[in-house]
């Protein structure tokens, strides 16, 4: 959990699970690696609202955001009105907020807060920074020991809320997973799996609204076509904005776009013609968000299919890492480090 101090912080120190691994961005942005094209990230407010004194937001929308009701998971777009609280106007696209579920855990202690990515642009869902949305997936599983149904506390609490219900919130959190100060100076490749789309929905909305000429590619990975999130919106955006490209990577069926089944990293090969010039360009920033471990497949694929001139722009590889074919999560965690041009948020 984060430290409870409300400060303006320019990406200094770990802010989320992903920041705490070796496979993370070093604090310091532009000065970190001296990689050409490194972005300057904005200063952001963090922990304006702490778990000790959460604020109360009110749900104003809760809708399924999968492509079909036959999706393999239940994912909801939940929008919360935070007007009149310290969260209003204090967040930026890419940050997260905390949800404090009511009740106590099995040890009788109040439930701990869980983080949810803000799926809205910096101006919020309402254009005034008063409404925050997120994209939340119900955690449903079978308990490892009892075999009973395990329903995740916070995700199911959030998904069960109806319009008008109150929710205790904290935040914002996160200092590094942000759009740069000068967005027009960069092009963007966003890789999402599942609810990893949340921060990208906000960022892409913000970029498109600002009318930057930057090229923006989103690669969205889910198991089945019916699991695609915000699919209709994203397709509409591609029609409205020629600089925005939406690619899907469906791992367990052929997918809707004739690209064949595959994982997000497979698009580095199938869409090489489009992605290679971008990845080679010093303007490009690569953002990765979603299931922990997705970065392993992506980094391996980059190293397997692209030359060192490209790879070295996004990762620093220590010699002990050995050849890419031996890179697993442990090797990458220890010996491969993201440069300031590769921004990661995995959970
Ligand atoms: C920066 C950040 C951003 C995030 N953004 C989002 C987002 O936008 N959308 C989203 O949906 N999630 C997001 N998450 C994940 C979110 O915070 C929660 O972790 C997730 O929703 C699960 O929380 P829960 O309370 O529902 O489940 P929990 O009640 O916390 O249950 C999960 C826990 O239960 C235990 N468990 C799980 N399965 C089993 C099993 N089969 N048997 C026994 N024990 C088990 C494990 O200990 C596991 O940690 C984000 C996380 C981070 C760190």
Q: Each residue of 221-249: pLDDT tens digit?
A: 999 999 999 999 999 999 999 999 999 99
User: Structurally, how many domains does the chain consist of?
Assistant: 2
* Residue 112 and residue 73 in one domain: yes
Say what the pLDDT of residue 31 is: 38
Q: What is the mean pLDDT of residues 71-81?
A: 96
Say what the pLDDT of residue 10 is: 40
* Residue 147 and residue 195 in one domain: no
Whole-model pTM? 0.92
Any residues with Cβ below 6 Å from ligand 1, and which?
16-17, 96, 114-117, 134-137, 139, 141-144, 150, 152-156, 195, 198, 345, 347
Residue 9 in domain: no
Say what the pLDDT of residue 132 is: 98
* Residue 192 and residue 318 in one domain: yes
Q: What is the mean pLDDT of residues 138-145?
A: 96
* Residue 62 and residue 111 in one domain: yes
CB 335 within 8 A of CB 317: yes
Say what the pLDDT of residue 5 is: 39
- Please say which residue of 149, 173, 197 terminates a domain: 173
Q: Which residue in this structure is represented by tokens 């089945």?
A: 224
Supply the CATH number for residue 199's domain: 3.40.50.80
* Residue 166 and residue 194 in one domain: no
Residue 247: helix, strand or coil by DSSP?
strand
* Residue 158 and residue 191 in one domain: no
- The whole domain housing 282 covers 183-346
Query: Which residues does residue 167 pair with via DSSP β-bridges, in sequence order?
Result: 57
Residue 208: helix, strand or coil by DSSP?
helix
Supply the CATH number for residue 149's domain: 2.40.30.10
In this structure, which residue's CA is closest to atom 49 in ligand 1? 152
- Please say which residue of 144, 173, 202 terminates a domain: 173
- The closest of 277, 291, 284 to 329, measured between CA atoms, is 291
CA of 88 to the centre of ligand 1 (A): 25
Burial 30-45, CB ≥16 within 10 A → b, else e: eebbebebbbebbebb
* Residue 104 and residue 204 in one domain: no
Whether 282 shows a pLDDT value over 60: the answer reads: yes
Q: State how far the Cα of 223 lies from the Cα of 184, in Å rounded to an integer.
A: 33
For residue 138, the ligand 1 atom closest to its alpha carbon is 26
Burial 313-342, CB ≥16 within 10 A → b, else e: bbbbbeeebeebeebeeebbbebbbbbbbb
Pocket test for ligand 1, best of 2, 80, 111, 154 (most atoms within 8 A of CB): 154
Whether 323 shows a pLDDT value over 50: the answer reads: yes
Residue 157 in domain: yes
How many residues in the chain? 347
Q: State how far the Cα of 189 lies from the Cα of 103, in Å rounded to an integer.
A: 40
Residue 59 in domain: yes
Confidence class for position 260, pLDDT limits 50, 70, 90: confident
Confidence class for position 32, pLDDT limits 50, 70, 90: low
Q: What is the mean pLDDT of residues 279-296?
A: 97
Residue 146 in domain: yes
Residue 110: helix, strand or coil by DSSP?
strand
What angle, rounded to 10 degrees, do the helices at 231-240 and 197-209 form?
30
Task: Please give the radius of gyration of the chain, using alpha carbons only, rounded to the nearest integer.
Answer: 19
Give Cα 47 to chain centroid, integer Å. Answer: 19
Say what the pLDDT of residue 180 is: 98
DSSP per-residue string spanning 269-321? HHTHHHHHHHHHSTTEEEEEEESTTHHHHHHHHHHHHS-HHHHHHHEEE-GGG
């Amino acid at each position: 959990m984060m430290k409870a101090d409300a400060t303006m912080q320019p990406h200094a120190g770990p802010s989320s699970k992903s920041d705490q691994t070796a496979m993370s961005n070093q604090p310091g942005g532009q000065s970190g690696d001296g990689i050409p094209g490194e972005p300057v990230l904005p200063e952001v407010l963090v922990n304006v609202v702490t778990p000790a004194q959460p604020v109360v937001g009110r749900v104003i929308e809760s809708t399924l955001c999968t492509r079909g009701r036959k999706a393999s998971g239940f994912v909801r777009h939940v929008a919360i009105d935070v007007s009149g609280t310290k969260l209003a106007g204090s967040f930026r696209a890419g940050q997260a907020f905390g949800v404090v579920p009511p009740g106590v855990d099995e040890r009788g202690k109040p439930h701990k807060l869980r983080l949810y990515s803000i799926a809205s642009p910096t101006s919020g869902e309402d254009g005034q920074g008063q409404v925050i949305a997120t994209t939340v997936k119900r955690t449903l599983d079978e308990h490892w020991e009892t075999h009973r149904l395990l329903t995740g506390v916070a995700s199911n609490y959030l998904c069960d809320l109806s319009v008008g219900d109150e929710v205790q919130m904290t935040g914002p959190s996160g200092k590094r997973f942000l759009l740069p100060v000068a967005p027009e100076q960069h092009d963007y490749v966003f890789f999402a799996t599942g609810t990893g789309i949340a921060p990208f929905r906000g960022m892409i909305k913000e970029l498109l609204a600002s009318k930057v000429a930057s090229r923006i590619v989103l690669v969205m990975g889910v198991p089945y076509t019916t699991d695609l999130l915000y699919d209709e919106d994203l397709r509409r955006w591609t029609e409205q904005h020629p600089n925005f490209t939406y690619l899907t990577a469906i791992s367990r069926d052929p997918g809707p776009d004739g690209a064949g089944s595959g994982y997000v990293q497979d698009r580095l090969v199938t869409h090489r013609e489009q992605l290679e010039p971008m990845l080679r360009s010093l303007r490009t920033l690569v953002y990765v968000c979603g299931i922990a471990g997705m970065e392993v497949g992506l980094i391996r694929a980059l190293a397997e299919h692209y030359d060192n001139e490209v790879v070295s722009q996004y990762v620093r590889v220590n010699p002990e890492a050995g050849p890419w074919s031996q890179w697993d999560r442990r090797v990458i965690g220890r010996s491969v480090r993201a440069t300031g041009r590769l921004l990661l948020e995995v959970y």
